[in-house]
Amino acid sequence: MSNHISRRDVLKSLSKGVIAGSVLRVIPLEAAEYVHRMVASEKATSPAGAYTPKFFPPQQYKTLVALCQTIIPADADSGGAIEGGSPEFIDLITSENPEHQLTLGGGLMWLDETCTDHYGQPYIRCTAEQQKQILDSIAYRKNALADPSLSPGIEFFAFLRDLTVDAFFTSAPGIKYLDYIGNTYLAEFPGCPPVPEA
């Protein structure tokens, strides 16, 4: 009997983070780090230095990239979800998890169909204002009370936000943004600074 844990085993186990009560919203930290290493390894060995999506077809992957960028855009302090590899991270774990495939694949289809019904084209081809309108409608659970047809979109977007945040804050840019130094050896511990006298 082998103790070898395959890539597939690791990726399938990612959904257990929710049940186990991970500090992260969706997946355990160790698994997230493993996924980031897998993506980096693929990019390093790819002739173009690029990641090839494993689950999402090209149009859906473009939409995923746009949504991740909207959720955590780059700013003056840090790179955003794109620089943190959130789309690659989400695609890789989704490729091995049927529940994620249903939630995210179905959610992206719902988003495109809803945009087509309202604006005559899928999300990625909508104007910035149209994209903002649809995302504003699915960004808040309370909106489902006024319009129950938004429920699938709301559930999808909430899950995507959690995954995007987990992916970003376990990436090198996300960790740098948090100023996390990890478990480092200190030669001395100076203690707390003195409290100023009142």
Q: Residue 197 — very low, low, confident or very high, per pLDDT cuts 50/70/90?
A: confident
123-136: average pLDDT:
97
138-146: average pLDDT:
95
Domain-embedded: residue 72: yes
Q: Given this model, what pLDDT does residue 12 score? A: 58
pLDDT in tens, 53-110: 999 999 999 999 999 999 999 998 888 999 999 999 999 999 988 999 999 999 999 9
pLDDT in tens, 156-196: 999 999 999 999 999 988 888 887 666 666 677 777 778 88
Among 38, 69, 63, which residue's Cα sits nearest to residue 52? 38
Domain-embedded: residue 198: no
Domain-embedded: residue 139: yes
Contact 88, 51 (CB under 8 A): yes
Buried b (16+ CB within 10 A) or exposed e, 51-84: bebebbeeebbbbbbbbbbbbbeeeeebbbbbbb
126-133: average pLDDT:
97
Q: Which two tokens stand for residue 159?
A: 């899950």
Domain-embedded: residue 48: no
Q: Which two tokens stand for residue 117?
A: 């019904």
Number of domains, the chain: 1
Out of 20-34, 102-116, 134-148, least confident range: 20-34
pLDDT in tens, 34-67: 889 999 999 999 989 899 999 999 999 999 999 9
pLDDT in tens, 5-25: 456 665 655 544 443 433 355
State pTM to two decimals: 0.81
Contacts of 137 (CB under 8 A, 6+ apart): 143, 147, 150, 153
Domain-embedded: residue 96: yes
Comparison of pLDDT for 27 and 96, the residue scoring more: 96
Q: Given this model, what pLDDT does residue 100 score? A: 92
The pLDDT of residue 125 is above 80:
yes
Domain that holds residue 86: 53-177
What's the rounded Cα separation, in Å, for the pair 95 and 167? 15
Give the C-alpha distances (Å, rounded to integers) separating 14 from 8, 40, 43, 51, 104.
10, 18, 22, 20, 15
Contact 165, 72 (CB under 8 A): yes
Domain-embedded: residue 95: yes
Domain-embedded: residue 4: no
What's the rounded Cα separation, in Å, for the pair 30 and 166? 12
Domain-embedded: residue 47: no
